[in-house]
Structure 1
């Protein structure tokens, strides 16, 4: 068992007090597809869920910090562009235009488009809630709290780092979009991988935040796809 630094206990560089948390209660908000019974999560078919995400006590955070430090030292203009592009507003702001482009390209009927968008946006809500549940449950520090001299591309958000919300959103998006637009599966995969990796390029997340966020998000997306498929519409 390894120990790790707690986000809520360490100031960001240039600050005297630990960061003020943003919506820490969001991890308890209602979800559309996932139910809770005490500490247990249930899918739409009432099956117990074991989330596919590592306990942070099993992660080598010193090695993760070295990856971030090396990434910041060797950052390229293209990586900076990717970091800034995916950080321009909510991550959904970057994904929704891709969604509408695919709907138009493949002529998704208006009725099916409405259902698809409803399922997708509801899934994103659940992805945020689950992400916030784990962020504040585990309270994992950000790279800049491990290395106060770290020069990041973007400002570090004011909530715990693990898992990355961008990565969970991207992971959740991938199976849902791939179900509706199987012809675009490879492109969708690459775009969502880029979205997650952008947070390492930004210097605000460890690589494992992104890797485990993708895993968690894909699991949720697969749960939603199983429900969609069961309705046979």
Structure 2
């Protein structure tokens, strides 16, 4: 069935002659909290089927999304460029780890608890990457620079499909996990993680919906993990 949007695997990047080569392998990496059934249904740790909270790309108005990217890139401020480069020139988690260590020090939670926070954070982020890659290659949505427009992105466009944004999915997941461990810091955590997602629009490598839906998907994954933590606390109480 023909989709209503442009396919990533069918169009070359700006200035290139051939479509990009796919690399779907991370979509099939092992996960820690999510279980994959043979028919690509997914179960949570309590073996309940997961109903993913993400729009299908056929329900998105991609023309409007492209126009918004163009408008955004035409009105970038130095602060927005700096945000794009901060999150785009390093691994997203590389920029999140100092926050975790700073919060651990602020609340003096000790080495064992810090290790626990890091363990759940990294395991959850692993699952967020796998699920984001699963949807990327399931739907195969083109990047902004594959529309032949005169876009001038701040960042180099990654060579895998656009929807959803992996940065945003990881940020949404981290948002849920870190708010659980540091509830008094919820506002600052949310601002940081939403800035991570938004930076991909400012960089010109993602549509706004990639980021919004990535955040939503990531928060759902994070909440799956938080439910495990809450259940453990109840059992230990």
Do both share a fold (TM > 0.5)?
Answer: yes
Alignment of 1:26 onto 2:26: yes
Q: What is the TM-score when the length of structure 1 is the normalising length?
A: 0.97
Segment drifting more, 141-150 vs 53-62: 141-150
Residues 12 and 148, structure 1, Cα contact 8 Å, conserved in 2: no
> Structure 1 stretch 24-33 or stretch 147-156: which is displaced more?
147-156
CA distance in 1, matches of 2:100, 2:115: 12
After TM superposition, the structure 1 stretch with the greater mean CA deviation from structure 2, 62-71 or 108-117, is: 108-117
Instruction: Quote the residue 1:36 is aligned against.
Output: 36
Separation in 2 of the partners of 1:156 and 1:178? Answer: 31
Shift of 1:109: 2.2
Question: What is the distance in 1 between the residues matched to 2:146 and 2:195?
Answer: 24
Distance 2:148 2:215 in 1: 25
| Superposed CA offset, 1:197-227 (max 9, x none) | 0000000000000000000000000110110
Q: How does 1:46-57 map to 2 (within 5 A)?
A: 46-57=47-58
2:229 matched residue in structure 1: 228
Deviation at 1:2, TM superposition (A): 6.6
Deviation at 1:80, TM superposition (A): 0.2
Post-superposition Cα deviations, 1:115-135, rounded to whole Å, max 9, x if no partner, equal: 111111000100000000000
1:17 aligns to what?
A: 18
Aligned CA-pair RMSD = 1.2
Instruction: List alignment gaps of at least 5 residues for structure 1.
Output: none
Alignment: residue pair count: 232
Which runs of structure 1 show a deviation greater than 2 angstroms over 4 or more consecutive aligned residues?
none
Aligned pairs for 1:82-231 within 5 A: 82-231=83-232
TM-score of the pair, normalised by structure 2: 0.95
Query: Residue 20 of structure 1: CA displacement?
Result: 2.1
Is the CA contact (8 Å cut-off) linking 1:152 and 1:203 kept in structure 2? Answer: yes
CA deviations over 1:51-80 (Å, ceiling 9, x no partner): 110000000000000100000111111100
1:115-162 CA distances to partner (integer Å, 9 max, x unpaired)? 111111000100000000000010000001123421111110000000
1:170-205 Cα offsets, whole Å, 9 max, x none, are: 000001101111110000011111000000000000
What is the DSSP-based 3-state SS (H/G/I as helix, E as strand, rest coil) of the residue aligned with 1:47? coil
